[in-house]
Amino acid sequence: MNRKRMVFAILALTPSLWTSCIPASSTAKVATPSATSMVPRVTATAAIEHPQAPPQASPTATPARTATPTVPPVALELPAVAAPTRTGSAPRLPHQEVIFIRHGSREVRKVALTFDLCQRPENPAGFDREIIEVLLEYQVPATFFVGGHWAVTHPRETQWLAEIPLFEMGNHSWTHPDLPDLMEEEIGQQILRAQDAIWQLTGVVPRLFRLPAGKYNDLVLSVVAWHGLYTIQWDVDTGDPVFDTTPEVLAKNVRDRTQNGSIILMHANGRGWHTAEALPSMIEFLRGQGYELVKVSELIGLASPSSRDEKRE
């Protein structure tokens, strides 16, 4: 796939992200790579899937409620299995260049809904089943960025999500640390432990990676790429981890900020406080404006976002 290259912009992170799993503990510092490291370094430029374009005018019309699509034949009960079905390490992906993606093509009227599932061990999180039910009711594809520690403490939920064809899984690190605070080896461990946990439970080997709290430096991006993953940021932050952000404000944020190619950030770990309430109006609005809702992999033209294998004997 041909990619356009451009200098990537350092993103301004919104305060709401600090509360999505647990408040950040310190100011980020740049890790120093080891002298013997094989990880390629990022220079002043990094690959980005699609270049920035002048934003389109935000639509303001709110369409009437649309008819509810038929619910697909998906099991609505969590699976009985509540333990890993595989052992050992997930298949390792080939090294690649840094690919940092904030949005898809501005020329195509597609957007992606994404949901983070994360926690830190000292601050366990939950699961918003209502969000899944809304997505199934409306037949909406979605991408879930799953933390490894969250997955092993929510094995049934993780396995359930993996069985739903509308959904895909990405990696959201092991324990949601501030990655720029870590050394190279520690960053790699955060990535690979999450890969292993997700694969052991589901057989899925993610190729998409979301940065905890969206924080990064050159070393972080290099290590992600070294392990074969695409770094997926966002350009629409709903603000759903902030408790007093009402459903109406969440929906308005989507209406005002979404444009062609947008990646919309939300949470399904019990800390998207009013996301399930706001989601129907978001979906109806986006579809009413002619947007096609797709997985991140389709948005960026990634043919094989993850691999799925059978249990190893």
Known catalytic residues are 116, 267
250: its two tokens? 């969440």
Q: CA 151 → CA 17, 27, 109, 193, 246, distances in Å?
A: 20, 27, 33, 11, 28
Give CA–CA dist 188/162, Å, rounded.
Answer: 24
Around 186, how many Cα atoms within 13 Å sit in the side-chain half-sphere? 12
Q: What are the DSSP calls for 215-252, one per residue? A: ---HHHHHHHHHTT-EEE--SEE--TTSTT--HHHHHH
Which residue type sits at 127? F
Query: How far out from the chain centre does Cα 65 lie?
Result: 28
Element (H, E) at 44: none
For residues 67 and 284, the answer to whether their CB atoms sit within 8 Å is no
